[in-house]
Amino acid sequence: DAGVIQSPRHEVTEMGQEVTLRCKPISGHDYLFWYRQTMMRGLELLIYFNNNVPIDDSGMPEDRFSAKMPNASFSTLKIQPSEPRDSAVYFCASSFHPRDYGYTFGSGTRLTVV
C-alpha cells in the first residue's frame, strides 16, 4: 500500500484566496483525521470521520474551514477565505482501529498564506 497520500505537498497562496487540501487514506481504514501542526501549538486535531461521516469537528477553528469525505478513498479540507494565521502544516491520518493500531500519517501539506 502506498500509505496516506496528501496533495499538494506545498501551497503558497494570497490572503483571501480559497485553498483545498486533499487526502487519500489507506484502503480499508475506517477512520480519517485532519490535524494542523505549528511550532506554537503543536499538533491540533481539526476533525475526524468514521465511515465517511464527520464525528467531531470541534477543533475546526472557525467557519472558514470545512472538510468533506464524499467516499472512503478521498477527503478534502477547504479554507475560504485563507488568512496568514492559517499558515501551518496540515496532516491527514487514517486508521483501522486508532486505539490498537494508532494512526498512519501522510507527509503533510505545508501551507503558507501571504
Partner 1 sequence: TQLLEQSPQFLSIQEGENLTVYCNSSSVFSSLQWYRQEPGEGPVLLVTVVTGGEVKKLKRLTFQFGDARKDSSLHITAAQPGDTGLYLCASAISGTYKYIFGTGTRLKVLA
Q: Which residues bind to partner 1, rule: CB under 8 A? A: 4, 31, 33, 42-43, 45, 48, 50, 55-56, 91, 93, 98-108
SS3 22: strand
In terms of DSSP bridges, do strands 53-56 and 42-50 run parallel, antiparallel, or are they unpaired? Answer: antiparallel
Quote the least distance from Cβ 5 to partner 1, whole Å.
Answer: 11
For residue 33, is it left (φ>0), alpha (ψ between -120 and 50) or beta?
beta
Quote the least distance from Cβ 54 to partner 1, whole Å.
Answer: 13
Shorter beta-carbon distance to partner 1: residue 57 or 81: 57
Quote the least distance from Cβ 42 to partner 1, whole Å.
Answer: 5
CB of 37 within 8 A of CB of 43? yes
In terms of DSSP bridges, do strands 53-56 and 65-71 run parallel, antiparallel, or are they unpaired? Answer: unpaired
Shorter beta-carbon distance to partner 1: residue 36 or 79: 36
Shorter beta-carbon distance to partner 1: residue 81 or 89: 89
Q: Provide the grid cell at 29.
A: 481504514
